[in-house]
Amino acid sequence: MNNAKLRFLYCFLWLIAVLPLAACSQTPTTPAPPSSAALSNGSGYPVRIENYDAMENPVPYTYKNSPKKVVITHPGATELLLELGLEDRILSTVAPYGAPLPRLADKYAKLTIMKTPYTPAQEELLEMQPDLIIGWVHQFTSNSIGTVHTWHERGVGTFIMHSTLTKTKPTLENIVYTSIADFGKIFSIQDKTDLYLQHAKERVAHVEAAVKDVQQRKTVMVLQDHFNGTFSLYDNRYLISNMIDLAGGKNLCENPASFIGAEKVLAFDPDFIIIVSSNKTDSMQDLTDAQAIKSLQEINELQSMRAIQTGNIINLPFFTVNNGGVRTIDGIEIIAKKLYPERF
């Protein structure tokens, strides 16, 4: 199986794993972001960070010093560490889900990519002897890369990206900001992360101010085409829904909907469609806006949708929608400017 097919298979398997878990919860829970507290002054170490295990229970870990051999199985976390200037700490990572951000592409190209795509074997991780593993919540099981408790017993820190949790209703605050703040403490770069967060919050505040008096919010559908006659709709269990809200829109999908047919998509009549695009011929390249829009307009079963007829289509690559890191603010700005161009 070639690399492109492997990536699409992973995307499908990921949606299968996440959406049913969300559907099983009768009411969304929104626990407070995990607390992180420094235990000493001076160098800032030791520092205690509270993260999670695979069951999403809070689990603390105390870092005695700044990690120097970090293995990452979530490319959104890789981009975040690169953005924070921590590329020298990354021992190994996975390939990005599409094209890396242009400003980070050179840094990403110099990183060591793991032999096993997406989820490495425990043996591969043990051989690398990391001091911190950052990844998806579903990977930290005994049948996958090992439990967080097992790694902690070995003296290896673990960090589950908040964007991969399924029992938390995601917001910018408890997903993106929390991860950045925690990395600031873990790597003792709080001055840098504080400034980064301040700038991010200023950008979001600018967007919110521009759309705050919108009389009627534009309605939005977030659609992913699986190229086999089935689609997925992203509901409020995904960060993209909060991004739409901050941009002044309203996500019409309130319940999980994965691998559904066109007839269920047609039950919605949004003002705009956000297409979660993927390049099925070259997984390392993103579709241009024109290519993504054309791919959606060519789906015969959806031609009657008002948003397609009017061309109200917003292209966001899969890696942007499922990033949970540095692309999030960019995404909010893109959505807001597409929904209300006259306000920007």
pLDDT tens digit sequence for 155-183: 999 999 999 999 988 999 999 999 999 99
Spell out the domains of the chain, with CATH numbers in brackets: 31-188 (3.40.50.1980), 212-343 (3.40.50.1980)
Residue 219 in this model has a pLDDT that exceeds 60: yes
Contact 247, 208 (CB under 8 A): no
Rounded to whole angstroms, how far apart are CA atoms 202 and 189? 20
Contact 69, 130 (CB under 8 A): yes
Contact 57, 170 (CB under 8 A): no
Count Cβ atoms below 10 Å from residue 325 Cβ, excluding itself.
25
Band (284; pLDDT cuts 50, 70, 90): confident
Whole-number pLDDT of residue 294:
95
Higher pLDDT, 1 or 298: 298
Band (291; pLDDT cuts 50, 70, 90): very high
pLDDT digits (tens, 9 = 90+) for 93-134: 999 999 999 999 999 999 999 988 889 999 999 999 999 999
State yes or no: cis peptide before 100, omega within 30 of 0: no
Could you tell me the CA-to-CA distances from 239 to 8, 230, 274 in Å, in that order?
A: 21, 22, 13
By C-alpha distance, which of 264, 267, 291 is closest to 280?
291
Contact 245, 332 (CB under 8 A): no
* Residue located via tokens 């105390």: 62
Global pTM reads 0.87
Band (195; pLDDT cuts 50, 70, 90): very high
Whole-number pLDDT of residue 283:
82
By C-alpha distance, which of 273, 320, 284, 262 is closest to 8?
284
**Taking the mean position of all CA atoms in its chain, how far away is CA 212?**
26
Rounded to whole angstroms, how far apart are CA atoms 116 and 136? 15
Residue type, 223: L
* Residue located via tokens 């070639």: 2
Q: Percentage of the chain with pLDDT > 90?
A: 81
Q: Partners of 225 in the beta sheet?
A: 231
Residue 15 in this model has a pLDDT that exceeds 80: no
Whole-number pLDDT of residue 9:
45
Biggest CA-to-CA distance, the chain: 64
Whole-number pLDDT of residue 232:
97
By C-alpha distance, which of 145, 91, 141, 154 is closest to 123?
145
Rounded to whole angstroms, how far apart are CA atoms 235 and 261? 16
The residue-averaged pLDDT of 74-85 equals: 97
